Structures are given as C-alpha cells and as structure tokens.
Structure 1
Amino acid sequence: MVAPTGTGKTTLLRIIAGLRKPDSGKVLLMGEEVRGPTPKISMIFQDFALFPWLTALENVEVALLHKRLSKDERTKLARRYLELVGLEAFENYYPRELSGGMKQRVAIARALAAQPVLLLMDEPFANLDAITAEGLKSEIYNMVFNEESTVKAIVMVSHNLEEVIELSDRVIILGGRPATVISDVSIDLPRPRSPRDKEFQDYLDLLYGEISKSMELAGIAKT
C-alpha cells in the first residue's frame, strides 16, 4: 500500500491485524472474520517494537507463548529463527546493545516464528541504511518464499516506489481523507527485479502518475 502521509495506512494495517476495530465493515482472513489479535497474523513495525527488558532470544520467544510448547522447545524454536536471520551469536543481547538492522532482524525472526498465514510490514526498512535494507529484503524474500514457510501473503506499507515494485505483485494506492483506493496496479515482472530494466522503469512512471492523483485528492500541492 502506498499513500501520502496521514492517509491512514498504518491504521489500516492495525485494523487488518486485529489491533484496532474498524468503524464499519469487517476484515476477513481466508473466509474467517478477524475480531482481534490472532497468531495467524504477524506484524513487523517500523520502530521494531521490541521489549527492551528482554534479550533478542526472549523477544522471539514471545511470539511462541500461545503455542503448547515446553520452555526448552520454545527456546529451541526461537533460536532457530534467530539463526535464520544471522543473529545466533547475539541471542543474549538486549535491544539497546543492537544496531537498527539487528533490531529489525530480531523483529523479523519474531514475526516469522509465530508461523503466520499473513505477514504485515509497516515500512520495515524506513529506519535502515540502504545496504542493510537491501540485505533484509533478500532475507525476508528467501525465508517467506520457501516450502517450509506458512506465510501465504504479505501486506506492506512503503513510501519507496522502487522498493514497492521490487517486492510486490500488487500495489494499492490510497488517497484522500478518509482514504479511498485511487488505483490498483498489478506488477507483472519476473523475479529478481532490477531498477535498471526498462519494464521496471515503466512501472515506476505509472506509479508516480498515480501517486500524483492521490496527492491531489489529499490536498497536497505538487512541487
């Protein structure tokens, strides 16, 4: 999902996650109404949302508390997901001792450890440098799109149009207040995708045009 600031993208993600009730209508996940937080949906926040008093390993274990696992089983599974994001050597570190990229890796490990059906991502790379962000994109892609993954779909909010085209199959552009759908664009490109390809640039031009429409609806003057 792409939209100007203040359109309600994060609010919409929270509604999908069951963290906030909609004013009207309802959210359906595979035919079932989402009435509150559910293990079937995990969310990766822009600000990491780690518990500062817990270690990296313990933060991941939080996602497993709903499962009927022994303490040893929970620790073993949490450790496995930390290993997947390359943080096995930092399991006893607290968030204050980790870099931004490492904190986001812990958040990703926690989200995937819950083995959700739907993964929500609220600008997960916005606070990271370009090199770290690129590495994390590849890690998420490799972890989600494999035979063992339970994730069936990802809903992501982003302001970075190149990132959107690189990762998405479908782009929903919102505009106005309250938000409405301005455009629904399917990204029909093979993976891996490169910003240097002409087809990639064509989609970029298309999205910039649609974003201009959404800004006009939101009352934001073009510069």
Structure 2
Amino acid sequence: MKEPILEVIDVSYSYKTEKGPVPVLKDINFKVYSHEFVSIVAPTGTGKTTLLKIIAGLRRPDSGKVLLMGEEIRGPTPKLAMIFQDFALYPWLTALENVELALFHRKDLSKEVRREIARKYLELVGLGGFEDYYPRELSGGMKQRVAIARALAAQPVVLLMDEPFANLDAITAEGLRAEIYNMVFNEESTVKAIVMVSHNLDEVVELSDKVIILGGRPASIMAEVEIKLSRPRNTRDIEFQDYLDRLYSLLSISLKV
C-alpha cells in the first residue's frame, strides 16, 4: 500500500484571546501522496492559512499532529518550503541573493556553491539573466518566480503555497499557473507534493489532483474531491466546468454550516 508523503492527523487549533480560546480548526485529517497537488479551499476566515502554517511547523496545534514521511513536524524544517502571496522578498537583495537565502542553513556549502545553486533555480523558473535585478525592478510575475526559485532551492520535500497568484494580474497569473506544475515536478526538483491554499476555484480545478473543502466554525473537513482531468487542462471543457460547479456548490453549503 502506498505511504503518504504528508499526513495531517486529528489537528485542532484555537486562537488565544483575552476572553478565552476561540476554536478555529477541529479534527482535521487528510493525506497527501507522492506527486499529488492538493488544494485547501474554504470561506474567508475559516482558518485555511492557519492550517497551512501548522503544516509548515510555524504554529503548533492544540491537539493532533502532522507527519512528514512518517516523522512528526515539531517546528520549521527545510523539508517544507512555503510561498506567500506577497512574495516575501527582501527589497535590498538582488534576485540571486534572495534565492541564496534558502541555502544559508547549509553549512556544508561554500558561498560559490550556494550562488551556483541559486543561479540554477532562477534559470529553472525562467529568470536566467535577471540575477542582479532588485525586486523593485521586477514585475509581479517575476517576483513570484523568484519566490518559487527560492522555495525550490531549499530542496524541500513538500511545497506549501498560500494564495500564490492572488497579487498577480489575471494574464500573469494564468501564465504562471500553466507553468507551475512543470516547474515543480521535474527531475531538477526534490519536491514530492504540493499543498496550496486558494480562494480561486478556477485555479484550484486547473492545478489540483485533490481538493479539501473546509466549513463550519470551528472548521472541519466537509468534503474531499478528486480532480480526474488530464493535463494540461482546458478551462472551457465541460468536465472542467462540472468540477467548478461542484466546488461552488460545496462551498455554498459550507457557508451555511
């Protein structure tokens, strides 16, 4: 039987406030397998980004655990890399230097080797020749490519993405979505699986192998939907629209829970 790369087991979480804990997530369970692209969707304020941060080891759950290749995640680890919607680039560093940051924990690498690895991943995401450009000199799409290159340079096992295309114009986002799968799942990359949080159902259907729908307060998993469409996917296909309608329907139900 195939073993999961990532496993979320009975995860619950509450925000701590002066008036007491506010339950956000309750008994979240799901598995992610090799070469699987999983998206998490939910109404605004349901806790999907909080769940992603728990998976990343940036927050500890009140109960439950997250396993990466069978080992419990107890804090941030290079085996998990996260891409944020606001790019999270340092404006005073060049594109190459921003990517190099992902390798500073590697004490076994010389500065020259770190630079060569960073250069390789910039080329992989189509930014060869832009190594010395600062973020202010790059378009939104190029900034997000730098963020993707930085995440891949860390050589993670799982890539986490929090609304990665939200701050891009529609045409740029469409182009990046069309490329992201091949950029991440290729022989140059160590990434075995992707987990993405998104509110854009079109991009969710376009990219995902499996979609997890959260609903209720505190949020729990209402449904899991497998997207069985060949790649690349045509947003105008009837089957694509059928999946889209199904997700909209499930989200509408989740708003009423």
TM-score range, shorter chain: over 0.9
DSSP 3-state at the match of 1:172: strand
Deviations 1:91-133 (A, max 9, x none): 1222222221111111000001111110000010011011111
Q: CA deviation at 1:90?
A: 2.1
The answer on 1:88 being equivalent to 2:128 is yes
Q: Residue type of the partner of 2:75?
A: G
C-alpha RMSD of matched pairs (Å): 1.1
For residue 151 of structure 2, the aligned residue among 111, 115, 124 is: 111
For residue 238 of structure 2, the aligned residue among 198, 213, 216 is: 198
Match of 1:220 in 2: none
5+ unaligned residues in a row in structure 1: which ranges? Answer: 218-223
Deviations 1:179-217 (A, max 9, x none): 111111111111111121111111111111100011112
Match of 1:221 in 2: none
For residue 168 of structure 2, the aligned residue among 128, 143, 155 is: 128
Match of 1:143 in 2: 183
For residue 58 of structure 1, the aligned residue among 93, 97, 118 is: 97
TM-score by length of 2: 0.82
For residue 65 of structure 2, the aligned residue among 26, 29, 50 is: 26
Q: Residue type of the partner of 2:145?
A: R
Aligned-pair identity in percent equals 79
Q: CA deviation at 1:145?
A: 2.0
Aligned equivalents of 1:119 and 1:15: distance in 2?
14
5+ unaligned residues in a row in structure 2: which ranges? Answer: 1-39
Work out the number of aligned pairs and report it.
Answer: 217
Q: CA deviation at 1:43?
A: 0.5
TM-score by length of 1: 0.94
Q: Which has the higher strand share?
A: 2
Match of 1:210 in 2: 250
Structure 1 contact 57–78 (Cα < 8 Å) conserved: yes
Aligned equivalents of 2:188 and 2:142: distance in 1?
23
Aligned equivalents of 2:119 and 2:186: distance in 1?
19
The answer on 1:187 being equivalent to 2:227 is yes
Q: Which has the higher helix share?
A: 1
Deviations 1:128-169 (A, max 9, x none): 011111221233211222233211110001111111111001
| Shift in CA distance, 148/98, structure 1 to aligned 2, threshold 3 Å | closer
